[in-house]
Amino acid sequence: MWRPRALGRVIAQRTLRLERPRRRPTIVQVKFGRPVRAPRSKRGDPWWCPVEISGVGKRRLEAVPGEDSLQALILALELTSRVLPFEADRAGGHIQWLGERENLVFANTFTAGLLARSLENCINGLADAVGVLENGGPRSAAKPLARRLRALIASGGYTADPKHIPAPSNKPLERIGSAGRSAPVRWTS
């Protein structure tokens, strides 16, 4: 099966740093070529997105297939985000981009941080609620916990502090149902 043997026209690139103990940082280059098809492609032939990685291990060219050009590009981006940490580990270090070590390709540090904090807040709120429910805690613990959970719900998980959220109402909590309509939460046992 045909596959590209050259990078072709570069449509995107990223410069990263390979950091290893007691060594100078090394520049790592990742270049993405324009997704292409075989010169005489037939129906059902894949698109290919060439990717060139240099600066960690041997310079290499990968051609990532996809059903269409967008899928080939997305899969090439995902492959790169998975291969780079592995290659850096083999080289005895880690790769960074803008201070990030985890999300080298799809990094959005601000949004990722907000989402991580939001999830942590929600999990902590749920854990506290489960503790009160399982242990039959004092009735006095239920009201502040309910206010915290309502604050989490109202803020989308960004804060559990009811002071930063408009006063909670006593109406039933709502969830988004099918077709985007909200529906009251129904508890079943």
Res. 188 pLDDT band, cuts 50 70 90: very low
pLDDT digits (tens, 9 = 90+) for 91-122: 899 888 877 666 666 655 555 666 777 778 78
pLDDT digits (tens, 9 = 90+) for 9-49: 999 999 999 999 999 999 999 999 999 999 998 888 999 99
Most confidently modeled of 42-51, 85-94, 177-186? 42-51
Indicate the pTM of the whole model: 0.56
**Long-range contacts, stretch 98-106, CB < 8 angstroms, 24+ apart:** 104/14, 104/16, 104/80, 105/14, 105/30, 105/77, 105/78, 105/80, 105/81, 106/77, 106/81
